[in-house]
Structure 1
Amino acid sequence: MSSPPFIDQASGELDLGQIRAEAFRLAGLVLLFGGIALLLFLLTLLVGPGRLLAGFLTVLSQFVLAVGTGIVLMYVIARGIQLADE
Structure 2
Amino acid sequence: MSPPPFIDRESGELDLRQIRAEVFPLAGLIVLFGGLALLMFLITLLVAGNSLLGGLLTVVTQFILAVGTGIVLMYVIARGIQLADG
TM range (shorter): over 0.9
CA RMSD after TM alignment = 0.9
Give the letter aligned to residue 81 of structure 1: I
Unaligned stretches of 5+ in structure 1? none
Q: For 2:50 and 2:39, how far apart are their aligned partners in 1?
A: 19
TM-score by length of 1: 0.94
The answer as to 2:34 corresponding to 1:34 is yes
TM-score by length of 2: 0.94
Q: For 2:49 and 2:42, how far apart are their aligned partners in 1?
A: 12
Once the 2 structures are TM-superposed, how far is the Cα of residue 53 of structure 1 from its aligned partner?
A: 1.4
Q: For 2:74 and 2:10, how far apart are their aligned partners in 1?
A: 31
Give the number of aligned pairs.
86
Unaligned stretches of 5+ in structure 2? none
Once the 2 structures are TM-superposed, how far is the Cα of residue 24 of structure 1 from its aligned partner?
A: 1.3
Once the 2 structures are TM-superposed, how far is the Cα of residue 48 of structure 1 from its aligned partner?
A: 3.5
Q: For 2:8 and 2:44, how far apart are their aligned partners in 1?
A: 48
1:63-78 equivalence runs, <5 A: 63-78=63-78
Identity of aligned residues (%): 76
